[in-house]
Amino acid sequence: MFRIGEFSRIAQVSGRLLRYYDEIGLLSPEYTDPQTGYRYYSAHQLPRLNRILVLKELGLSLEQVARLVEQDTSVDEIRGMLTLRKAQIERSVQEEMARFRDIEARLKQLDVHGQTQAPDVILKSVPAQAYLAVREVLPGIDAIQRLVENIAAVVPAAIGKHSVSNVAIVIYSPMFEPEAFDAEVGYLLAGKTPNPVRLSEERTLTVRDLPSVEAMATLVHVGSVTDRHSSYGVLGAWLEANQYHIVGPGREIMMQLPGRGQSDEAVIEIQLPVTKTPHT
């Protein structure tokens, strides 16, 4: 019989660990003196402790380890837990390697451009959204901008400030036709769905539904509304580097409209629906 100090030296573990395992019932000393509380371990408990240690090193939780070291655990259950853990490891290795590549890309960017200020791309899923908008083919980006301002001036007043959230644009035309934008412009809705809003003789905003998107590569553009292309460039580079490609119409959410003084900074979240490119 060993006292806790000697036993811990033999097994190369700390006394605190042994006390903790006793506390949670994972490994109790063979005998505990009821007077003094002193713990006495036997050499026969070493195999159990060792098994606990190796299972723990495999990354299993102590709760799982506790199940596995009970001898009444069926072989099937053991197999199940190990198989599960194996799958977890596979996933975590994949994730770690993705992080690794991401860090490498950032380091390369640091070396090449010396810049640390590129906006960050975030991959997220967005839910379906009610949308009060009008779809049109517009002759240029400034036409869109005027329409946005027009809508921003009229709509909140018409249906109540509290039931709209942000101005959003959905761009259906391929990115590279600057002369004929096929786009939807309008407000994302927050509260209950309102009636259509007449903007002018030719334009009426109606309620539509923006579908949910599982994987949306997004980035927040801050600055002038006219130089969004740089942000699109960053997004495009990210897609390429991370093996994604575009699978639908992009969106732009105007988190903050530019001030009328025209030099005020706008904040726009650019969103592109994507899927993982099957890697060769």
Partner DNA sequence: CTTGACTTTGACGCAGCGTCAAACTGTACA
Partner DNA sequence: TGTACAGTTTGACGCTGCGTCAAAGTCAAG
- Contact positions vs DNA (CB under 7 A): 3-6, 14-17, 19-21, 33, 35-39, 56, 61-63, 160-162
Q: Which is nearer to its own copies, 28 or 165 (CB)?
A: 165
Among 33, 104, 209, 214, binds its own copies (CB under 8 A): 104
Among 17, 28, 40, 51, binds its own copies (CB under 8 A): 51
How far is Cα 32 from Cα 41, in angstroms, rounded to an integer?
A: 9
> Is residue 102 near its own copies by the rule CB under 8 A?
yes
**In the bound complex, what is the minimum distance in angstroms from residue 245's beta carbon to DNA?**
30
The structure tokens listed for 230 are 């740089």
How far is Cα 82 from Cα 80, in angstroms, rounded to an integer?
A: 5
Residue 162, binding choice from its own copies, DNA, none, Cβ under 5 to 8 Å by partner class? DNA
Q: 168: how many CB neighbours lie within 10 A of its CB?
A: 24
Task: Pick the closest to residue 169 from 235, 245, 248, 249 (CA basis).
Answer: 249
Place of tokens 């505990």: 32
> Is residue 152 near its own copies by the rule CB under 8 A?
no
User: Strands 250-256 and 266-276, how do they pair?
Assistant: antiparallel
Please list, in sequence order, all residues whose beta carbon lies within 8 angstroms of the beta carbon of residue 113, skipping any fewer than 6 positions away: none
DSSP symbols for 71-102: TTS-HHHHHHHHHHHHHHHHHHHHHHHHHHHH
Query: Which H or E run includes 256?
Result: strand 250-256
* φ and ψ of 165, to 5 deg: -110, -80
The structure tokens listed for 27 are 């490994």
Size of the site for its own copies (CB under 8 A): 52
Among 17, 220, 241, 246, binds its own copies (CB under 8 A): 220
How many degrees, rounded to 5, is the angle at CA 183 between CA 180 and CA 189? 165
Interface segment toward its own copies; rule CB under 8 A; list 54-62, 154-162, 170-178, 199-207: 54-62
Residue 19, binding choice from DNA, its own copies, none, Cβ under 5 to 8 Å by partner class? DNA
> Is residue 42 near its own copies by the rule CB under 8 A?
yes
**In the bound complex, what is the minimum distance in angstroms from residue 107's beta carbon to DNA?**
21
Angle, helices 46-57 vs 62-69, to 10°: value is 140
**In the bound complex, what is the minimum distance in angstroms from residue 239's beta carbon to DNA?**
26
**In the bound complex, what is the minimum distance in angstroms from residue 236's beta carbon to its own copies?**
18
Q: Which is nearer to its own copies, 147 or 268 (CB)?
A: 268
> Is residue 12 near its own copies by the rule CB under 8 A?
yes
Name the residues that contact its own copies, by CB under 8 A: 6, 10, 12, 42-44, 46-47, 50-51, 53-54, 57-59, 75, 78-79, 82-83, 85-86, 89-90, 92-93, 96-97, 99-100, 102-104, 106-107, 110, 114, 116, 119-122, 124, 165, 219-220, 222, 255-256, 265, 267, 269
